[in-house]
Amino acid sequence: MRMYDIIRHKRLGLALTEEELRWCIAGYTAGDIPDYQMAALAMAVCLNGMTPAETAVLTDAMMRSGDMVDLSRFGNATVDKHSTGGVGDKTSLIVAPIVSALGGVVAKMSGRGLGHTGGTVDKLEAIPGYRTELTPEEFLTQVEQVGVAVIGQSGNLAPADKKLYALRDVTATVDSVPLIASSIMSKKLAAGAHSIVLDVKVGSGAFMKTREEGEALARQMVDIATACGRQAAALVTNMDVPLGEAVGNALEVQEAIAILQGKGDPKLRRLCEALAREMLCLCHGWSEEEAAGRVTAAIDSGEAFRQMCRWVTAQGGDATYLTQPEKFPAAPAYPVCAPAEGYITHMDAEAIGIAAVSLGAGRATKADTIDHAAGIRLLKKTGDRVAAGEPIATLYTNRPAAVEGATAAYLEAVTVEDTAPAAQELIYAVVR
Ligand code: URA
């Protein structure tokens, strides 16, 4: 087999065979196929696409390129959740205890923040003592005993994807639905859960800018899971505004606690309930009505919050920060005020994420350390009426020199106009 012929086939719009795809991934992972040939193939895929069968084989080959977590001892009760990335997305912190309080087995590997988007592992590290690295034995024992563990992704999960993703990032080949779908699903499938719920974000703070693109990605990921013998469902959801009222690590943990205590932003709660419902329908075979009722009851009874405390304690975290969230260190606060009277008609969620990074809530380079106290509290969001000079957000930072730039960036990211905008949907579609 020659890489030259495979690139040419794809350039001519032909479907690659299973043998060709597996040969490419094995050769690229081993270092036998050079970056320039793989980049040419990625570009041909971007231009000519892949059939569902090709995408499933590519995913399977990347999934098998490194470690695969064996969760078979938990039967079919294991369930995972993945968000394609957004700003203020703390849903995993809320959904993991709800689902595990209701008997779903959540053995989850999560990522760190990337660019303007936050990451669950960074948020969990805001809780003093929380261990995001466990040995495989510790991880599985905790899952067995508590029903939930959330750690950082193992270094050797889907190494073919790691290499290919880095290459795509610098060759303008990220934007391809089959490449994104196979990249995400290779890691999720290698992480071992039988059922997977995907939250495909769409809008100004997301990879997918249109609802159509989001639905196409959701459909492909669900179909890949089915082709690989797992079950999946996807919600296609709004990321045109940051999710909830906080962006930044400790602030988002505090917001997750509030939701599990029956307080906080109703839209955030609604999305978390929908994600938890889909997870429980898949892993227990419950009807939507039954799952929805039990999710609401788990929050309202306090059981989901108590499960969060059990989970965090088991993983070394100091749960008094959950019961007394005022213990989280606060950074100095700086108000951002409305430039004019009117309605907020648009928020650029990506720009708000970047502003939060500049305050210390994320990393500009891999080597940067995160200030867990830094971030932004959103006091007014799209659709809200504001008076001129009224505070619309609070910036929290230990970097006073960053305040002026972040304030200007925030104001640039928010549009205030005379007429109220149309109400925005939260969940655009459910793909099963
Ligand atoms: N996230 C991934 O893991 N892979 C992609 O290709 C895009 C987003």
CA 8 / ligand 1 centre spacing (Å): 25
Please say if the pLDDT value at position 369 is more than 80. Answer: yes
pLDDT of residue 83: 95
Instruction: Ligand 1 pocket test: pick from 171, 174, 199 the residue with the most ligand atoms within 8 Å of its Cβ.
Output: 174
Ranges in the chain annotated CATH 1.20.970.10: 3-49
Please say if the pLDDT value at position 8 is more than 90. Answer: yes
- What pLDDT, in 10s, does the model give residues 148-196? 999 998 879 999 999 999 899 889 998 899 999 999 999 999 999 999 9
- What pLDDT, in 10s, does the model give residues 304-318? 999 999 999 999 999
Q: What letter does residue 67 receive in the DSSP assignment?
A: B
Please say if the pLDDT value at position 366 is more than 80. Answer: no
What are the distances in angstroms from CA 281 to CA 90, 197, 205, 290, 424?
A: 21, 10, 29, 9, 27
- What pLDDT, in 10s, does the model give residues 284-339? 999 999 999 999 999 999 999 999 999 999 999 999 999 999 999 999 999 999 99
Residues with CB under 6 A from ligand 1: 165, 174, 179-180, 183-184, 207
Is 253:93 a contact under the CB 8 Å cutoff? yes
Looking at every residue in the chain, the average pLDDT score rounds to 96
Ranges in the chain annotated CATH 3.40.1030.10: 72-323
Is 139:107 a contact under the CB 8 Å cutoff? yes
Strand partners, 395: 334, 376
pLDDT of residue 112: 86
Nearest to 53 by CA among 86, 18, 29, 26: 18
Which residues touch 285 (CB under 8 Å, ≥6 apart)? Answer: none
Give 212-258 as a 3 state SS string: HHHHHHHHHHHHHHHHCCCEEEEEEEECCCCCCCEECHHHHHHHHHH
Ranges in the chain annotated CATH 3.90.1170.30: 329-417
- What pLDDT, in 10s, does the model give residues 112-135? 887 788 899 999 999 999 999 999
Q: CATH second-level architecture of 329-417?
A: Alpha-Beta Complex (3.90)
CA 119 / ligand 1 centre spacing (Å): 13
Instruction: Please tell me the CATH code under which domain 72-323 is placed.
Output: 3.40.1030.10
- What pLDDT, in 10s, does the model give residues 227-270? 999 999 999 999 999 999 999 999 999 999 999 999 999 999 99
pLDDT band at 364 (very low <50, low <70, confident <90, very high): confident
Instruction: Ligand 1 pocket test: pick from 162, 183, 207 the residue with the most ligand atoms within 8 Å of its Cβ.
Output: 183
CA 312 / ligand 1 centre spacing (Å): 28
Range 3-49 has CATH code 1.10.150.120:
no
Q: Is 422 helix (H, G, I), strand (E, B) or coil?
A: coil
pLDDT of residue 240: 93
Which residues touch 135 (CB under 8 Å, ≥6 apart)? Answer: none
| Amino acid identity at 237 | T
